[in-house]
């Protein structure tokens, strides 16, 4: 089974790139499931119900999020009901929405997705290592037929991402990092069969700063005045990873994807 994971979709250009490139990518790699991080899909900050629906309608099966999840308050009631937009599991056990989803389609094996957030250089959260183990044991109990599990680990620190990758090696199909918006070139298969990349990258304008307008971000850095930044305009790229798996849920290969529209 082949699974496509798309790095943080940033604003309208990110949505445009995903919509334009997805059909050919899915065809090229024979994709069964498409997962995308959508925490920056609405103007670079957060996601709205309309934008979530638009992403799902373009052929994304599940949207994960991150630290910007609650930026638009109308997403809270939407996510409380949704099974296809999830938030980091370990922000708080009392948070609305879910941090785990199980996807099922005819003709292919089911896929569980767990969204976690890091604690290093991030806002306070529960332990992602403990949250991961708890989620996996609940999945095993509630969905014993699910052998494929993908983790989106939304985190800043490379060390924390690598550590969780090693911790979950052999327990999950893949751990893909998000949040930094910079695709790393360290994709590999851990010894027990878990695919890993520190960061899947970003889907949006590549000649801005992390997808945002570079002049406005430069103003911030050079003046220390924290003003709102707009989404960048320019060359659009979709960045992500494709993982191929065996029937037992082990990763066989992991490939970086980087395509311009």
Binding Fe ion by CB under 5 A: which of 3, 4, 8, 201?
8
| 85 neighbors 49 (Cβ within 8 angstroms) | no
Nearest to 32 by CA among 142, 150, 143, 140: 150
Of 2, 67, 115, 203, the one binding Fe ion by CB under 5 A? 67
66 scored as a contact of Fe ion (CB under 5 A): yes
Using the rule CB under 5 A, which residue among 2, 32, 40, 245 binds Fe ion?
A: 40
Instruction: Using the minimum distance from each CB to Fe ion, give the nearer residue, 161 or 250.
Output: 161
DSSP states of 144-201: TT--EEEEEEE-S-HHHHHHHHHHHBTTBSEEEEESS----S--EE-TTS-EEES---
The footprint of Fe ion on this chain (CB under 5 A) covers a number of residues equal to 6
Q: Which of residues 170-189 bind Fe ion (CB under 5 A)?
A: 179
Least distance from C-beta 261 to Fe ion, angstroms? 20
Q: Which is nearer to Fe ion, 39 or 187 (CB)?
A: 39
Kindly tell me which of 40 and 173 has the beta carbon lying closer to Fe ion: 40
DSSP string, 68-131: TTTSSTTHHHHHHH-SSB---TTS-TTSSS-SEEEE--TTS--EEEEEEE--TTSS----HHHH
Is 228 designated active site? Answer: no
68, 154, 179, 181: which is the annotated catalytic residue? 68
Residues 227 and 22: their CA atoms lie apart, in Å, by 33
Nearer to Fe ion, 180 or 245 (CB): 180
Report how far residue 194's alpha carbon sits from residue 147's, in angstroms, rounded to the nearest whole number.
12
We find the least distance from the C-beta atom of residue 60 to Fe ion, in angstroms, to be: 16
Q: How far is the CB of 161 from Fe ion (least distance, A)?
A: 13
Catalytic residues: 68
| Site residues, Fe ion (CB under 5 A) | 8, 39-40, 66-67, 179
């Amino acid at each position: 089974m082949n699974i496509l994971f798309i790095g943080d979709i940033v604003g309208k250009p990110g949505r445009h790139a995903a919509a334009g490139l997805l059909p050919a990518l899915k065809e090229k790699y024979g994709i069964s499931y498409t997962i995308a991080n959508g925490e920056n899909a609405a103007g670079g900050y957060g996601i709205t119900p309309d934008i979530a629906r638009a992403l799902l309608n373009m052929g994304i099966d599940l949207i994960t999020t991150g630290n910007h999840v609650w930026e638009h308050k109308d997403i809270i009631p939407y996510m409380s009901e949704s099974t296809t937009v999830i938030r980091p599991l370990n922000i708080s056990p009392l948070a609305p929405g879910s941090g785990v989803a199980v996807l099922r389609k005819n003709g292919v094996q089911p896929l569980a997705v767990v969204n976690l957030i890091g604690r290093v250089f991030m806002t306070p959260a529960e332990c992602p290592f403990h949250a991961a183990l708890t989620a996996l044991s609940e999945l095993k109990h509630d969905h014993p037929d699910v052998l494929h599990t993908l983790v989106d680990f939304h985190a800043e620190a490379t060390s924390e991402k690598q550590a969780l990758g090693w911790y979950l090696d052999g327990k999950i199909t893949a751990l893909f990092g998000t949040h930094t918006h910079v695709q790393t070139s360290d994709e590999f298969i851990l010894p027990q069969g878990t695919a890993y990349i520190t960061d899947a990258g970003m889907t949006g304008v590549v000649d801005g700063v992390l997808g945002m307008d570079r002049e406005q971000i430069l103003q911030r850095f050079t003046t220390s005045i924290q003003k709102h930044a707009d989404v960048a305009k320019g060359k659009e790229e979709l960045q992500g990873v494709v993982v191929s798996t065996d029937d037992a849920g082990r990763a066989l290969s992991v490939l970086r994807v980087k395509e311009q529209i």
